[in-house]
Amino acid sequence: MTPTSHPSSSADLSGSETQSSVADRLENGYGGAGEATRSSDTLLINEQSRLLEAGGKRIFKFGFGQSPFPVFDPAVQALAEHAAEKAYLPVQGLPALREQVARFHSDTDHVSWNPERVVVGPGSKLLLFALMKSLPEADILIPAPSWVSYAPQARMADQRAVKLEASFETRWQITPEQLEAYCVENPRRLKLLILNAPGNPTGLSFDMQTQKRLASVARRHGVLVLADEIYGQLHHRGEHRAFALDYPEGTVTTSGLSKWCGAGGWRLGVMHVPAELGTELFARILGLASETWSSVASPVQYAAITAYTRTPELDAYIERQRIVLSEIGQWCAARLNEANVRTHAPDGGFYLFPDFEAHRESLAARGITTSAELTARLLEDAGVALLPGSAFGCRPDQLTVRLAYVDFDGSALMKSEQTILEQATTTTLIQGIIAIVEWLNHGHKS
């Protein structure tokens, strides 16, 4: 008997046609959604810099914003001591850790954190997304410039991302008047305003009066505020003002260990949701956590209890970082301003947001009219890795970049009492700033 013919050909069995068909279906199915889920620009520049270095090119690494300092040593020791912990911990987080986190932020930020309203997550990044995903239909108000992941996360959460443009003149921050105008024009929709201070990519914070006015507008219009305060402990003068001080009933605050504790790879973030926001939102966030990350790694949570316990040693560790970052940031900003690159001196963290507008004509003569072209040429010609302002929501033709001034040996600077900018560990960073200025002034390849 002749076997019954099968509709698949030998080409089908090889998988090539099936694979192509699946790829086509995926492309058609995504439509315009790809932008929301492409790789983060900050991670991409880090990988690109590594590849160029592997090829023998000298790279000044100002692109990726990772703390240059070592993890707080007592926390490292605690991690080793708890390495054998293997149990799944509560979704909300280890109770002892939540207690310590609440105590830490209540003490350092002078706000009231309730441990029963604290959520521990695998980095603050997922906590931000969990909040957006747990909201009913909302407008996510995002200043431009702002961190690269806010807008993609809003779209992934099926929310509407709304850009509020800032400028050099407003210190790259939105104004109370902007928020007021948007609320008046869109009175019915729920609104979540994201504020990051000290900011990424700017290194800047609101002054107290502006923050209070923003809080007043948010309160009047029922705007929910997400205060991303991951850099709060690294305010250079130790003067971080938590947004919850001015709007406690409507501010969800996030932080974590990645910046002030140097533990980005530990992936531990915290969130506080005030009781005034009710039980439904909080339950939704915990439900999302339960169905996704389940719980943060047990050894890390136990070690984090030590990290969040204030001691003279911890205070000195944080203060030394502030001193180092302030001195380097002030020097970098001053040097760029001398080269007619407008740069606000930073308030905290380790970022600058230089504006090359004064050089627009000379840059255009070299075929550079966008921030992406500017950073591409600086990387190619001078070996300086930066991120374009367009990655942070700015218009492509704005000649802005983010500069992460972390290309130095933080471990060495933590131990030394010498003048920071005269030590060998900062030589590469200084040379990188000089490379930008020389490229800008002379246009020759380094």
* CATH fold group of domain 43-67+313-442: Aspartate Aminotransferase, domain 1 (3.90.1150)
Q: What is the mean pLDDT of residues 332-359?
A: 98
Q: What is the mean pLDDT of residues 408-421?
A: 88
In this model, does residue 33 exceed pLDDT 80? no
Q: What is the mean pLDDT of residues 217-226?
A: 98
In this model, does residue 440 exceed pLDDT 60? yes
Q: What is the mean pLDDT of residues 241-263?
A: 98
288-342 tens-digit pLDDT: 999 999 999 999 999 999 999 999 999 999 999 999 999 999 999 999 999 999 9
In whole angstroms, give the CA distance from residue 365 to residue 342.
Answer: 20
How many CA atoms, within 13 angstroms, populate the side-chain half-sphere of residue 158?
5
The pLDDT value given to residue 8: 39
In whole angstroms, give the CA distance from residue 228 to residue 129.
Answer: 12
Count Cβ atoms within 10 A of the Cβ of residue 361 and give its class: 0-12 exposed, 13-18 middle, 19 or more buried. Answer: exposed
The pLDDT value given to residue 25: 46
Question: Would you call the peptide bond into 143 cis, given omega within 30 degrees of 0 as the criterion?
Answer: no
The pLDDT value given to residue 29: 56
158-174 tens-digit pLDDT: 999 999 999 999 999 99
The pLDDT value given to residue 442: 81
Q: What is the mean pLDDT of residues 77-101?
A: 98
357-403 tens-digit pLDDT: 999 999 999 999 999 999 999 999 999 999 999 999 999 999 999 99
Nearest to 60 by CA among 335, 401, 384: 384
Count Cβ atoms within 10 A of the Cβ of residue 148 and give its class: 0-12 exposed, 13-18 middle, 19 or more buried. Answer: buried
The pLDDT value given to residue 40: 60
The pLDDT value given to residue 51: 81
The pLDDT value given to residue 38: 57
Nearest to 300 by CA among 264, 262, 272, 268: 268
Count Cβ atoms within 10 A of the Cβ of residue 276 and give its class: 0-12 exposed, 13-18 middle, 19 or more buried. Answer: exposed
Domain coordinates in residue numbering, the chain: 43-67+313-442, 73-310
The pLDDT value given to residue 417: 76
> 73-310: which CATH number, 3.30.540.10, 3.40.1160.10, 3.40.50.300, 3.40.640.10?
3.40.640.10
Q: What is this structure's pTM?
A: 0.89
In this model, does residue 238 exceed pLDDT 50? yes
